[in-house]
Amino acid sequence: MADATLPARAAVVGRYRWVIVGLLLTAMIINYVDRQTIGFLKGDLSKEFGWSEGDYANLIFWFQGAYAVSYLAFGRVVDRIGARWGFGLAFLVWQIAHMSNAFARSMGGFIGARLALGIGEGGAFPGGLKAMAEWFPKSERAFATGLFNAGTNIGAIVTPLIIPAIVLAWGWQAAFIVTGLGGLVWLPIWLLVYRTPRQARNLSPAELAHIEGDPADPVEAVSWFHLLRIRETWAYAAAKFLIDPIWWMFLFWLPDFMAKRHGLDLKTFGPPIVAIYLVSDVGSVAGGWLSSRFIAAGWTINRARKTTMLVCAVLAMPVAFAAFADNLWLAVAIIGVATAAHQGFSANLYTLPGDVFPRSAVGSVAGIGGMIGAIGGMVMSKYAGYVLDKLGTYTPIFVVAASAYILALGAIHLLSPKLEPVKL
């Protein structure tokens, strides 16, 4: 009976807040097409420019370095100027940077383009999480964040479907130009539609009351120095340091793994990689839905979030054996479950700043965590390049991936045992 009342209540409250989720989801699709294109072109570009595994690892390393610094900076920017202009600025920078890859003719040129891409893309999640904190109460935030974060998976699905076709028709340069120009259509729509809830004309009073249903929190800006002295900041950052590199590894090295272990190429990458990210899409939405469901059943935020993350951490463990699978589709299944587990874990981790910090600090905490996570990604890129150059196998890399999530949950619980609102 309680479930039967949900559609009726939603109709009374209104649904305009989900339009914001749709816009952010679309932006993240574009974000991940831009980010992942280089991975699908690795083989062709390595042959044309003579790249080694270490050279490719350096491209990823410098992208992540710029991403780390930008993530931190944009966290403060979106807290100061808001999600509308902060996210819009980040989007414009990363689209222009993405297209600039088409004009690179040397390793230095590609590194410059990837540095600029990292600067722009570093603003995506701080801006998106700021918007989630502005537009959703805590009871819905994990589910909404899971939907928004699902754009990363859809982008990863779209990339192997469109990039090979563009490359085979017009060459690798066109892969950057066509997707970059197409993505720019999103920016004016965002600037026209996005406002804070109190500024939105199409928002009903009932929906505004629902969005603002959580207790009021302070609106004063909080300094980075103060946030760095709070354990909950480091709970978020430590978890990001451990799990973000795993997602980076899947994004940038999965096509290479499929090529070396199962003999795939630009024409045959599509179906297996699409299948992996379809499964991960389910994980993103399901992870957010499950913890929100637990909260609706009366569980505390602490219990709901951590139980869901524990389930995800256990599901990720079998990826340690992915490189041993001789059958392509068995490897796809193992990796698909692991990527789904990552996204379910992330959907709940991304809510942590909004769960325990006031809205005025969410962007800054997200920025700190994202910077630390990107530093972890830099370490992983060097590690992956070294392992592949010296050993030529992905097994040690997958073993690290299998253990990261349970370690991340342990760090969260150690540093924030109750996930209670912090007192600033």
358, part of any domain: yes
pLDDT given at position 214 = 73
Structural domain tally of the chain?
1
For 355, the domain range is 8-212+220-415
401, part of any domain: yes
Task: Give the other-Cβ count within 10 Å of 207's Cβ.
Answer: 20
**Type and span of the H or E element at 403:** helix 395-415
CB 90, CB 122: distance < 8 Å: yes
Q: Residue 45's Cα: distance from chain center in Å?
A: 26
| Residue 127: both structure tokens together | 């801006």
420, part of any domain: no
Fill in the amino acid letter for 249.
M
CB 152, CB 160: distance < 8 Å: no
Give ∠ CA 304-305-308 in degrees, rounded to 5: 85
Poorest-pLDDT segment among 9-23, 37-51, 158-172, 340-354: 9-23
CB 384, CB 378: distance < 8 Å: no
325, part of any domain: yes
- Quote the mean pLDDT of the chain: 88
Q: Does residue 152 surpass a pLDDT of 90?
A: no
Domain of 342, CATH number, reads: 1.20.1250.20
pLDDT given at position 216 = 65
**Type and span of the H or E element at 203:** none
294, part of any domain: yes
364, part of any domain: yes
Fill in the amino acid letter for 388.
L
CB proximity list for 3: less than 8 A, separation 6 or greater: none
Confidence of residue 5 (pLDDT cuts 50, 70, 90): very low
Alpha carbon distance 237, 358 (integer Å): 17
Average pLDDT value for residue range 3-23: 67
Give ∠ CA 17-71-277 in degrees, rounded to 5: 65
Task: Give the other-Cβ count within 10 Å of 340's Cβ.
Answer: 26
Average pLDDT value for residue range 201-227: 78
Q: Does residue 287 surpass a pLDDT of 70?
A: yes
109, part of any domain: yes
The fraction of the chain above a pLDDT of 90, given in percent, is 50
pLDDT given at position 2 = 42
2, part of any domain: no
